[in-house]
A = this chain, B = another copy of it.
């Protein structure tokens, strides 16, 4: 269960990578929002396999079909059903893993939990599930446009190569100009070279994605359990391969002193702002009008293109040599997924905050 996300704006997803289709239902989409189909497909293209030399070689068109909820070019406020038919499946590539547990994959836990599993392509735990999240996020972004809220994520670390500056030091629009989605061209080139090298070795590599949300009004987030950053954290950690989340000055700076870290309030043109933003745009769980920024740690993909030891369903030792087409590094394609989850959280919390007399 629990393939639904959100409280007022919700996304429910379905589908396995080797079934008939993947898709979902968006509920709570505000009515009267122009449907921007080309934007939707451009978001899909950002997540699509086969987009560059450093992603999986699978070619999937990922053409989204909208089944409901749009009338004469606008959203109607009723649920938006959508689907993407699966194509270009090489299900036979997975026949060799039918009876074994791939290391650090969900094969074993699914089998134990459900008593059976669809072994082809990871079934429900496949990264293909994130496709539906990007659709949900694209609709959320269409609504956020009206509010002037913008979301941009980028790759800030691959292996030991990391951007040293803060998000303010880069033109984030440049992130989309290279395959690795890093806004600094030189660093991007080094990251890309590293990924290529790792791929050539049949290995994989992880890193960090940073995301910035600008234009969020004051007041989003609920004080106790549903703090805005807690919802963002849950959303990001629900993405395949995400192992950590922090916001504002997180793990790197948590050991510092209060006197270095508090954000002084200042009045500016009749508005309250802060002279610094160590808080990451959220205080007491509620947005304060400053930029929200956070980081997500992604582990290296568990599927190696080399031989690894494992065991069969019956517990016998065996050797696995993955055959499918896999990403050596998940980060470039995870960038739009991070944005999509952020967009859905922010819109949902905007609507929650609007629920007033």
Contacts and interface: CB of A to CB of B under 8 A. Distances in A.
B25 A14 contact: yes
Interface in A240-261: 243-251, 254-261
A202 to B, nearest CB: 8
A241 to B, nearest CB: 9
A263 B103 contact: yes
B237 A229 contact: yes
Contacts of A30: 356-357
Interface string A322-357: 000000000000000000000000000011111111
A32 B115 contact: yes
A255 B224 contact: no
A330 to B, nearest CB: 10
A247 B244 contact: yes
Contacts of A77: 113-114
Contact of A27 (B4, B300, B316, B317): B4
A85 to B, nearest CB: 9
A238 B285 contact: yes
Question: Copies per complex?
Answer: 4
B250 A243 contact: yes
Contacts of A65: 20
Given A115-B32, A297-B251, A104 B279 contact: yes
Given A284-B106, A311-B266, A16 B300 contact: no
A117 interface: yes
Interface stretch (A55-63, A152-160, A164-172): A152-160
A35 interface: no
Nearest to A16: B68
A354 B352 contact: no
A107 to B, nearest CB: 8
B4 A259 contact: no
Given A24-B25, A81-B14, A103-B263, A301 B258 contact: yes
A278 B243 CA distance: 11
B237 A245 contact: yes
From A109, A143, A218, A283, name the one whose CB has the most chain B CB atoms within 10 angstroms. A109
From A2, A204, A206, name the one whose CB has the most chain B CB atoms within 10 angstroms. A2
A22 interface: yes
Interface in A294-308: 295, 297-304, 306, 308
B356 A125 contact: no
Contacts of A243: 229, 246-251, 254, 280
Contact of A234 (B230, B249, B297): B230
From A4, A19, A69, A81, name the one whose CB has the most chain B CB atoms within 10 angstroms. A81
B223 A258 contact: no
26 contacts: A3-B224, A12-B25, A16-B69, A23-B81, A76-B114, A76-B124, A104-B261, A104-B283, A108-B272, A109-B219, A109-B284, A109-B286, A112-B219, A129-B224, A205-B258, A206-B255, A229-B243, A233-B233, A233-B245, A243-B246, A251-B295, A256-B300, A261-B302, A267-B317, A350-B357, A352-B355
